[in-house]
Amino acid sequence: MLRWFPARIWEMENGILGVDTIELNAIAQALGVHPGGFFDTRSWATWEAISEMNDSSLIFAKTIEEIDPRSRAVLEQVFLGAAFNA
């Protein structure tokens, strides 16, 4: 589908040749997967939702993802408590 030489693909697979973001995106499209799926185990639906987020939402989601688990649990309790009390 990509019309690349087999040797090029072999070099990419074996770490001899680097893969830039444009090539990674082309590979993902050919395979019918989201490019983020190469780096994470999230489902396609999750990646679609992430793709539709605006920049500030992505920054917030990334920040929440990087918070230590204990602090994240506290934040979830605060937000969930606020949602149920509203």
The per-residue pLDDT for range 12-52, each reduced to its tens digit, is 888 898 888 888 888 888 888 777 777 766 666 676 676 67
Do 47 and 34 touch, CB atoms closer than 8 A?
Answer: yes
Same domain, 3 and 21: yes
Q: How many domains does the chain have?
A: 2
For residue 43, the model assigns a pLDDT of 67
**24 Cβ neighbours under 8 A, 6+ residues apart:** 35, 38
* 10 C-beta neighbours (distance < 10 Å), count: 11
Domain range for 84 is 53-86
What predicted TM-score, i.e. pTM, was given to this entire model?
A: 0.47
Residue 13 lies in a domain: yes
37 and 62 co-located in one domain: no
Q: Residue 69: its pLDDT value, please?
A: 81
**Angle at CA of residue 64, ends 52 and 56, nearest 5°:** 40
* Same domain assignment for residues 27 and 6: yes
My answer on whether 39 and 63 are in the same domain is no
Q: Is residue 48 part of a domain?
A: no
Average pLDDT, the chain: 76
